[in-house]
Structure 1
């Protein structure tokens, strides 16, 4: 099957035409009447993770709370996602693969519209309705382990290779289910090219974004300036060299050289409204998918945002407030 748009073939595009029509209507309503309607989704399916990565936003606002049930999520999917014609939804956590029952539910209720972001330190399960796995990797092995813990890279690598060595899924080879995502920060920026080359030919695509700080002066933030510009230029060169492998469009990567998102902790150009973001209790997160439902929680610095999920919308002409 030929992949035409972000891993979707002709059959996929024809089947999903009602969703593309819905997105077009929502974009038109926003541009003409400033009506904001979410088009995509992001869900924290659980409140636990087996790793404690040095750059992870999730731990900053975590509270000891129980996850809601599968039946609770079934109601939320019906009332908030399907009723609003949400297209692709990304499942995060915590570590979402620890709640395979919730992943299974989303894949059943929203078939081929579900992405799962995972550290892949656990074996990757084959879900019939899965769109693809976003596997988080933070550079080559030494750097990755420095950020995520000793031995984590080897576990992730083994689980990816085990998955792609398996049989086809829904008529597609298993390697097409695996996309890698790398969050670039001050500890790993020098490995972007090596990571891309290491996995080329083994997995489907690789995407890049930059670390978003929650406090000014965060040492993990790669500051705007000459060094960051050089990293972006390397990514653009990779895109030109491997246009079907690097998922980020050049227009999006170019935005990452400076502030595209907002002022302080307030979204301005960032279309945070376009992604319905819920936490593990089904509550709406603010100001975006890495925020929190608690108004007193720490907030991301929008003017230093490096998130890919919103900047790609800006690059496509979908803007914020």
Structure 2
């Protein structure tokens, strides 16, 4: 799909070769102050695809916001052809309050496609889906792990989608994790609309990690370069290692409450029965060895020093894609 000469978005018209920052406003704060979500648009004079780059669906996922911020600050979002639309913080309400959810207590990523007469989160989802997403040919959505659970840099896509497989390999994150689209998620709604999405996961909430940020920014550059949209002044590096494709996985949960310390690093390949962590008590009378249940890669680690029985402490691959 090639784009029109004039992009009409949120009541504004942006022609080829123009830049614009437009805003969508859904509701005011209880103080009557307006909250505007900036939508940053860069258009080349040369027609081409439209790529939408988003982050901050969850207000506590700061590293995703930082990735999109760097893409804008470095000028990576100024395409050699086509259009790049950036929304660094979708859930600006949660970002302001340093909270994952919306003020109405809802998870934005569980209310899509939303409705204009629904909850606050539902209204934001509806506006995003009806007024911005239809312009996109591809979406790159940046997330991080929840709470203290640190995600290895990974692209999440569904299986058996040739375009997504190709683009995920081009992005070059250490892992490609094949996961089903969750009902009422942003990804699932875009899939139903026929718009491919690369969902990036990396890092943990309330944290900015330089390696995760670099992986996200470099991956976005590779994808834009693949689409012949990246400005020639930017160099594109090749991934240090080939992607590991994870077909299935399991969460390893704590058998005991206590003080927790992982003894393996994120991205590590482990063998069955390797010791990968310890659960102890404050009094030195208890030390439980956490062992790998199978051969696989550790691609999420709980970095909380205090855990409770049943808490997810490791995410490990079970089956790798051949």
TM-score w.r.t. the length of structure 1 is 0.26
Structure in which a larger fraction of residues adopt strand: 2
Larger Rg: 2
TM-score w.r.t. the length of structure 2 is 0.26
